[in-house]
Amino acid sequence: MSNLRDAVGLCIPYGKANSQYETEFEPATGTIWGYFKPRGTACFSLGLLKDIRRHDSALATNGGKVDIGGGEMQTANYYVCGSRDPQVFNLGGDLALFVLLIKARDRDALAHYSRLCIDNMYARIHNYQSSAMATISLVQGDALGGGFECAMSSDIIVAEESAQLGLPEILFNLFPGMGAYSLLSRRIGARAAEELILSGRVLPAAKLHEMGIVDVLAPNGGGETAVREWIANNWKRRNGTQAVLRARQLVNPITREELDAIADVWIDAALRLQDRDLKMMGRIVRSQMRRMEHGDLADISAAALAEEALAVAAAG
């Protein structure tokens, strides 16, 4: 075990240059480290989704193996998903795009976006068809909406104490339609999942750890260390651990058909949104932009609600 700990940290960058999704491979442990590095707002833009899919499709095609140079392929034992921004894991769906597509009544474009999200989610939920790989989400900072869904698509969630996670979509009269219901209900039951989704609450990682959603609670700044410790502690029994994780999927399977059907419900609901709902969506977009540009906004949802209250007061 000491040799393993001494060897970690030697990572090989790989993947497409100028991608919004940067990847490194750590040969000593067979760990892929994937990092969101979006341009602009830290949301799932079409560009980011396509860059993730490009990497992950190649991984699945190679049977869960990584080219470490010279054509030599090495099996990936672990795949960690994180963010280059320590303050934001991911803020979720591209709300600015949603507003435009809903106003244009462009169902096909909404369907294209949702299917691309599910392409990424489904592949990760099923470990890229690799029985040897465990997936880990490293949450540092906000994981909201689709960002929270993405975190839950991994086998293990490691979150730092300062991280906040939640599903605020109900604030603009929608729901998270790219896997949240399926993933949450498998972790905490359908009733608790519905309560969390309908509350719109954004909760600290410690609370979600108590609820059984977050697996490992790490000190601030210690998320990567916590991931490495989890890998090291499970190293000698990784075959058994990964077999248990596969058994979990067999007992509570999430099918592509289920995810696609729920996404269709999401599209129908999105196209029923009224002008007041789209205005709230726009307020959240502005709060996201302020958070990214100035870093002085702790609660995006609260800021959007405050802006709405001021608008109502001014109109009254």
Amino acid at 186: R
Amino acid at 296: D
Q: How far is CA 244 from the centre of its chain?
A: 22
pLDDT at 67 over 90: no
Q: Which two tokens stand for residue 281?
A: 């969506």
Amino acid at 218: A
For residue 50, give the 3-state DSSP assignment: helix
Q: 84 in the Ramachandran plot: left (φ > 0), alpha (ψ -120 to 50) or beta?
A: alpha
List the beta bridge partners of residue 216: 158
Does residue 254 belong to any structural domain of this protein? Answer: yes
Amino acid at 57: S
Does residue 282 belong to any structural domain of this protein? Answer: no
The reported pLDDT for the residue numbered 72 is 84
Mean pLDDT of 74-78: 95
Does residue 291 belong to any structural domain of this protein? Answer: no
Amino acid at 272: R
Q: Which two tokens stand for residue 81?
A: 């998903």
Does residue 222 belong to any structural domain of this protein? Answer: yes
Q: Which two tokens stand for residue 125?
A: 């939920």
pLDDT at 192 over 70: yes
Its pTM stands at: 0.91
Q: Which of 40-49, 74-83, 112-121, 304-313 has the lowest mean pLDDT?
A: 304-313
Does residue 228 belong to any structural domain of this protein? Answer: yes
Of residues 4 and 302, which shows the higher confidence score?
A: 302
- Helix and strand counts by DSSP (H, E) for the chain: 13, 13
Q: Which of 46, 64, 55 is nearest to 13 (CA)?
A: 55
Give the chain's domain count.
Answer: 1
**Tens-digit pLDDT profile for residues 245-257:** 999 999 999 999 9
Mean pLDDT of 269-275: 97
CATH code, 79: 3.90.226.10
pLDDT at 185 over 90: yes
Q: What DSSP element (H or E) covers 252?
A: none
Domain range for residue 206? 2-274
**Tens-digit pLDDT profile for residues 9-27:** 578 888 787 899 999 999 9
Q: Compute how many other C-beta atoms are within 10 angstroms of the C-beta atom of residue 64.
A: 21
Buried b (16+ CB within 10 A) or exposed e, 1-36: eeeeeeeeeeeeebbeeebbbbbbbbbebbbbbbbb
Q: Compute how many other C-beta atoms are within 10 angstroms of the C-beta atom of residue 308.
A: 16
Q: Compute how many other C-beta atoms are within 10 angstroms of the C-beta atom of residue 270.
A: 24
Q: Which of 3-12, 26-35, 36-45 has the lowest mean pLDDT?
A: 3-12
Mean pLDDT of 121-128: 96
What is the residue-averaged pLDDT of the chain? Answer: 91
Does residue 286 belong to any structural domain of this protein? Answer: no
Does residue 264 belong to any structural domain of this protein? Answer: yes
Mean pLDDT of 42-60: 96
